[in-house]
Each structure stands twice: as C-alpha cells, then as structure tokens.
C-alpha cells in the first residue's frame, strides 16, 4: 500500500492526539469541516473507520488506535529533524588551528557575533584537518596552498615568519644583526623544515644548520610561550604576535620575513557557497585580514 496523502495523515495525527476535531482544526489553522473531510478521505483509503463519533466527542477505533502511535512518532521525528536543521542554520561552527584561534581569530570573532546576534558562533579549535562530511563544522581556516578538491578556498592572508625570542635572551645572546647568528642558538622545534626554508631564503647556507634535536611543541602558541620563557628562538608569524612584540614580551631581531609556501585560507564545501551566514563571515574575515 502506498503512503496516504500527507495532509490527511497530518490531520489524523492531530485529531488522534487531541481526540477532538475542533482542537485539531485550531492547531492546524483549518476549519472543522476540513478536518472531517481529510479524515473521511483517509478512512476511504483504508476501507475502515478511524474514529467512533459519539455524542460527547470522538474515540479511536481499534484501527485508529493502532495507527495513531506510529503516526505521532513519525511526525515527532519530522518535527525534531526540521527543528535540528533550523538550529544548525542558526549555528556557525568554525574550525581552525590553535595558533590562528588564539592569536588572530579570538580577538575578532566577538565583533562578528555582536553584528549577527541571530547566529550562534562556535569556535572549534583543533590542529587536525576537519572532514566536513563527518562533522558539524561549517567552515574552517587552514594553512596550505588553497588546493582542496570540492572546497571553496578564500585566501585571507599570506603566512610569513621571522625568528623571535625573549628580550632577556636577546640580551644574553645578542646583539643579533644577521640571520646566520642564530645558527648556534637553541631553536624551538628545530626539526621543523620551516627553519631551513626560512634560513635558505635569508641567504644562510642550510648545510650548516644542523643542531641537536629539540622537542616539537606542535603550535606557534606553545612555541611563543616557550620563547617568552627564555627556552630558545621560535619561528613565528608577526601577524599573530603583534601584542607580544608591542609590549616587549617578544623581540623580532630581523626585519626579514619570508613565506614558506602556505597561506591562511577560509574553506568550506562548494554546496555551502551561498549560505547567508558563510557569506557574512567571509566578508567579515576578508575585511579583518585586509586591516591587518
């Protein structure tokens, strides 16, 4: 048997729940005559009555009682599903790396939230690349070349780096006037290929850049904290540490900054290109990136 018309099922579900055609009509915003018409239509399809018409109201027949519960459960599931979709449409989940979250996005996303109070903005910080098909993440901010199949990639800014250290360590080890002077110093995360790429671009022979292995701290946030604590020299993005540089918590001894072939991108699936919340976020982040 094919599924009966949904309008008739909707009317039956409301009438069975209220045990009243009048209450069902009021809930659905239709007339009592329209309720009676839809119930008769459904009874005609089934070939049996669903309600017993009584002087003081209605009661479910055995067939009506048997169908009422699964019909109500089905409509409850539909209501829940559409309510969840509506909630998700009002939620904007942004995934990004800890360095971007802590040193750039966190200081800005509050302004976006205030400008869009109808949205619930959620920041998901992870150093793992998000799988949009397996998560509730709406957009992500990634480092890379911008080539991710199936994703829209909007460049926010170029990632450039320069060595930084604490003022005390600069006083201990300085003055540092040329990039090659950092070779004998303790580099934080010195096995990171970025160090060799930066030194090569600075004109330093990478063949003399061998230093004993040091712990990998996993993010610029941790490397910056270690550098401020005097643990060594960190290769950091000046854009992310303007406050620390301005307040003297960190010192950038060289003016040279070099890109390492990875920029910062806002990415999201092609199918979400025209979602209003994502368009609004894209415009906001591009303006913030352009402002510095």
* Domain residue spans of the chain: 6-88, 91-291
CATH no., domain 6-88? 1.10.10.10
**Verdict on whether the full-model pTM lies above 0.95:** no
pLDDT at residue 17, rounded to an integer: 93
Q: Phi and psi of 271, rounded to 5°?
A: -65, -15
Q: Do the domains 91-291 and 6-88 match in fold?
A: no
CA dist 237 → 60, 112, 198, 220, 262 (Å): 71, 24, 12, 8, 12
- Residue 120 has φ and ψ, to the nearest 5°, of -105, 105
- Straight-line distance from the first to the last Cα atom of the chain, in angstroms, rounded to the nearest whole number: 64
Contact 11, 39 (CB under 8 A): yes
**What is residue 166's predicted lDDT score, i.e. its pLDDT?**
95
C-beta separation of 39 from 63 below 8 A: no
Domain at 91-291: CATH code: 3.40.190.290
pLDDT given for residue 25 in this prediction: 92
Taking a C-beta distance cutoff of 8 angstroms, is the pair 119, 281 a contact?
Answer: no
253-268 pLDDT per residue, tens:
998 888 877 899 999 9
**Measured distance CA(202)–CA(260) in Å, rounded:** 12
What are the CA-CA distances from residue 161 to residues 29, 88, 133, 268 (Å)? 64, 37, 33, 26
Q: Which long-range contacts (CB under 8 A, 24 or more apart) does 2-6 make?
A: 4/42, 4/45, 4/46, 5/41, 5/42
The pLDDT, as a whole number, for residue 219 is 83
pLDDT < 50 stretches in the chain: none
pLDDT given at position 264: 93
């Amino acid at each position: 048997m094919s599924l009966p018309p949904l309008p008739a099922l909707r009317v039956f579900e409301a009438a069975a729940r209220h045990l009243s055609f009048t209450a069902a009509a009021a809930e659905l915003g239709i007339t009592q005559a329209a309720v009676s018409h839809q119930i008769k239509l459904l009874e005609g399809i089934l070939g049996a009555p669903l309600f017993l018409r009584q002087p003081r109201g209605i009661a479910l027949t055995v067939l009506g009682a048997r169908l009422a519960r699964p019909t109500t459960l089905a409509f409850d599931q539909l209501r829940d599903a559409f309510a969840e979709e509506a909630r998700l449409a009002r939620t904007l989940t942004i995934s990004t790396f800890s360095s971007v979250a802590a040193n750039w996005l966190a200081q800005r996303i509050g302004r976006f939230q205030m400008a869009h109070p109808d949205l619930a903005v959620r920041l998901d910080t992870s150093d793992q690349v998000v799988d949009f098909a397996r998560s509730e993440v709406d957009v992500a901010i990634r480092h890379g070349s911008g080539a991710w199949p199936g994703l829209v990639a909007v460049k926010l800014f170029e990632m450039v780096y320069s060595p930084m250290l604490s003022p005390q360590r600069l006083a201990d080890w300085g003055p540092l006037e040329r990039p090659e002077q950092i070779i004998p110093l303790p580099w934080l995360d010195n096995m990171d290929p970025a160090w060799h790429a930066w030194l090569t671009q600075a004109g330093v022979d990478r063949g003399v850049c061998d230093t004993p292995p040091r712990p990998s701290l996993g993010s610029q946030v941790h490397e910056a904290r270690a550098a401020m604590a005097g643990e060594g020299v960190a290769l950091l993005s000046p854009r992310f540490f303007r406050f620390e540089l301005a307040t003297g918590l960190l010192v950038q001894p060289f003016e040279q900054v070099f890109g390492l072939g990875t920029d910062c991108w806002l990415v999201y699936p092609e199918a979400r290109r025209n979602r209003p919340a994502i368009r609004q976020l894209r415009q906001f982040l591009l303006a913030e990136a352009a402002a510095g």
